[in-house]
Structure 1
Amino acid sequence: MEAVCRKATDEDVETLVGLIAGYAEKGIMLPRSRDTLKRQIDTFVVAEVEGEVVGCGSLCQLGTDLVEIRSLGISDGYKGLGIGSKLVDQLIYEAKEQHIPKIMALTYEVNFFKKNGFNIVNKEIFPEKVWKDCVNCPKQNACDEIAVLKMLN
């Protein structure tokens, strides 16, 4: 079972809505509306297995030198197969193409990101993130996510 990563297209929006909603309902990912996904589709990559989209992730630019991995998720039944790492590799490639030297994420899956070359950092070093998203998050004053960072060469 080989997963192939590619840039997302408008045809992927409905699949992304469902995939992200499943994580959002569990409180482990911020929800994304259909309209937001349509507007931001060019920031997403997807993973396909035999023509079916089974994973996604996006990059959000936080500054001239920093992007964040967001909305990284894998469909049930496809977890633990290396698809998440392939998506992260594709997102890192996209960041490098944009000449962005730093890539970060807020996550509950610290070991996954460590395995992919990220280091745990203090989330307060990302004021760009705090002012862009955290200010509207219901967990703002009790955030339990861990910040991870990877420097890109």
Structure 2
Amino acid sequence: METQIGIQCRKAIDTDVDALYELIESYAEQGIMLPRSRESLIRQLDHFFVAVQDDKMIGCGSLFRLGQDLVEVRSLGINKEYKGNGIGSKLLELLETEARSQGIPKLMALTYEVRFFQKNGFQVVEKEVFPEKVWTDCVHCKKQHCCDEIAVLKMLD
């Protein structure tokens, strides 16, 4: 899928792992995203989409299934030099298409970028409506009792 001139969005491949790790780690160091090990990225690579320009990975995002009818947008990030160009929305569109193709009706995220998700059709909801997320990830998070991320949800048709 083509976005702007020369920017392509596609499924991640083996050669993307190091760039995925570096981009996610840059967000994790700021406390904005959970870190991912290279090993976990390799195991979950088929769940990732990337944005690439001139063979350079500039953005990524993934899906993580939390239940029969719920999938989470994870690790959605854009290289800071490319923010504001619609790349995040294109990646999110691909993730939505993937969720629909799997027959999953609900797409959620925990985020600090509420306006971005609202612009893309998500609604703010209480985190407690996602017990699947709470017991899968939040139970292990150091911010578990003082989480400042906002939960958003999009119902897919």
TM-score bucket (shorter structure): over 0.9
2:76 pairs with 1:72: yes
TM-score normalised by L of structure 1: 0.98
Deviation, structure 1 residue 51: 2.5
Q: How many residues align?
A: 153
RMSD between aligned residues:
0.7
Deviation at 1:49, TM superposition (A): 1.8
* TM-score scaled by length of structure 2: 0.96
1:139 maps to amino acid = K
User: 2:105 and 2:8 mapped to 1: Cα distance?
Assistant: 25
Query: Structure 1, unaligned stretches of length 5 or more?
Result: none
Paired with 1:108 and 1:52, the residues of 2 have a C-alpha distance of 26
> Could you say which residue in structure 1 is the equivalent of 2:8?
4
Q: Which residue in 2 is equivalent to 1:103?
A: 107
Secondary structure at the aligned position of 1:143 is classed as: coil
How big is the shift at 1:33? 0.2
Alignment pair present for 1:58 and 2:62: yes
- 1:72-128 per-residue CA deviation (whole Å, 9 max, x = no partner) reads 000120001000000000000110110100000000000000000000001100000
Deviation at 1:52, TM superposition (A): 1.6
Quote the Cα distance in structure 2 between the aligned partners of 1:25 and 1:124: 27
